[in-house]
Amino acid sequence: MENCQGWAARDPSGVLSPYKFNRREPRNDDVSIKISHAGVCYADVHWTRNSFGDSKYPLVPGHEIVGVVTEVGCDVARFKVGDHVGVGVYVDSCRDCEYCDVRREIYCQKGLVTTFNSLDKDGTITKGGYSSHIVVHERYCHKIPDGYPMEKAAPMLCAGLTVYTPMIKHNMNQPGKSLGVIGLGGLGHMAVKFGKAFGSKVTVISTSESKREEAISLLGADKFILSKDSDQMASAVKSLDFIIDTASGDHQFDPYLSLLKVDGLMVLVGFPSEIKISPIQLNFGSRCIAGSATGGTKDTEEMIDFCAKNKIYPDVEIIKIDYINEALDRLTKNDVRYRFVIDIEKSFS
Reference 153, options 349, 333, 300; nearest CA is 300
Beta bridge partners of 226: 206
pLDDT of residue 1: 73
Detail the DSSP E strand segments found in the chain: 4-9, 16-21, 30-39, 65-72, 84-87, 90-92, 113-114, 133-137, 141-143, 178-182, 201-206, 223-226, 240-245, 260-268, 288-291, 316-319, 339-343
Reference 107, options 289, 274, 298; nearest CA is 298
Cβ(144)–Cβ(304) under 8 Å? Answer: yes
What SS3 class is residue 275?
coil
Cβ(231)–Cβ(253) under 8 Å? Answer: no
Cβ(344)–Cβ(36) under 8 Å? Answer: yes
What SS3 class is residue 286?
coil
Query: b vs e for 173-183, b when ≥16 Cβ sit within 10 Å of the residue's Cβ?
Result: beeebbbbbbb
CA gap 21, 40 in Å, rounded: 21
Cβ(347)–Cβ(320) under 8 Å? Answer: yes
Distances (CA, A) of 295 to 165, 240, 278: 6, 25, 29
The DSSP bridge pattern shows strands 16-21 and 30-39 to be unpaired
> Does residue 329 come out as left (phi exceeding 0), alpha (psi in the -120 to 50 range) or beta?
alpha
The DSSP bridge pattern shows strands 288-291 and 260-268 to be parallel
Residues (pLDDT < 70) of the chain are none
Residue 240 CA, chain-centre distance (Å), reads: 24
Helices of type H across the chain: 42-48, 98-101, 150-153, 159-169, 186-198, 211-213, 230-235, 254-257, 279-283, 297-310, 324-332, 344-347
What does pTM read for this prediction? 0.95
pLDDT of residue 133: 98
Give first-to-last CA distance, the chain, whole Å: 20
State the amino acid at position 178 in one-letter form. S
